[in-house]
Amino acid sequence: MKQKLQIVTAIVAILIGLTACQKATKDQLIGTWHYTAATTINGGTINIEGTETNKEDGTYSDLANAICTFDTEIDGVNVQIKMGISMKGSGEWTVNDKEIVSSPTSSGVKVTYMRYYDPSDGSFLMELTGRELLEASDVFVQDLNLMEASTERILMLQENKYVTESIDDDGRKITATYTRVR
C-alpha cells in the first residue's frame, strides 16, 4: 500500500511539473508560420497559402497568395475565371481565451493575373493584361476590407502546428492550418 501511495505521489508530482512547464498560448504562437486556408464565396472557391510572423511585441506581418476560381456569364457565354491575388499586411495581435484577435494597421492587395477558361472542357480562352488587369484589380480590391479586426478561434494547438476557425461577415466558416517554419 505504501508503495502504491509513493507511485501515485510521484505521478502527481510529474504532472504538476509538466503543467508548470507549459508555455502560455501566446508564447506558443510566437514565430513564423506557413498556413493554408480555403473558403467559398458566391459559388466560387478561394485557396490561400501564406506565411505569417507573430512577434513577441504583439505585432505581426503576413504575406499570402490566393487563387480564386469562379464561374460566371459574360454576354451570354459561360466562362470560368481564375484570378491570382497577392496580399500583404501587418498589425497587432493578441490572444484572449483561445482566440487570436488581429488588428491590421496596413494591408495591400494586388491581382496578379486573371484568366478565362471554358468551363465545359477547361480550355484557355483569354487573359487580362496591362491596363485591363489593373482596372480589374482596382475593382476587386475596392470590394475587400482587409483593415477590419478579425478573430480566429484556436481549435487545436501543438508545438509545431495549430488550426483555427473564423467566421466571415457572411457567416461562412474559414478553417486555417498553420505549420511552424521557425
Global pTM reads 0.79
* Mean pLDDT value across residues 96-122: 92
What is the separation, in whole angstroms, between the first and last Cα of the chain?
A: 48
- The set of residues, in sequence order, having a beta carbon less than 8 Å from that of 69 and lying 6+ positions away, is 44, 45, 46, 80, 81, 82, 83
pLDDT given at position 1: 54
**pLDDT exceeds 60 at position 13:** no
pLDDT band at 172 (very low <50, low <70, confident <90, very high): confident
| pLDDT, tens only, 120-130 | 999 999 999 99
* Mean pLDDT value across residues 135-162: 86
Domain annotation for the chain: domains and CATH numbers: 2-180 (2.40.128.280)
Of 33, 105, 110, 103, nearest to 65 by C-alpha is: 110
Cα 160 to Cα 32, 124, 127, 181: the distances in Å are 10, 40, 40, 8
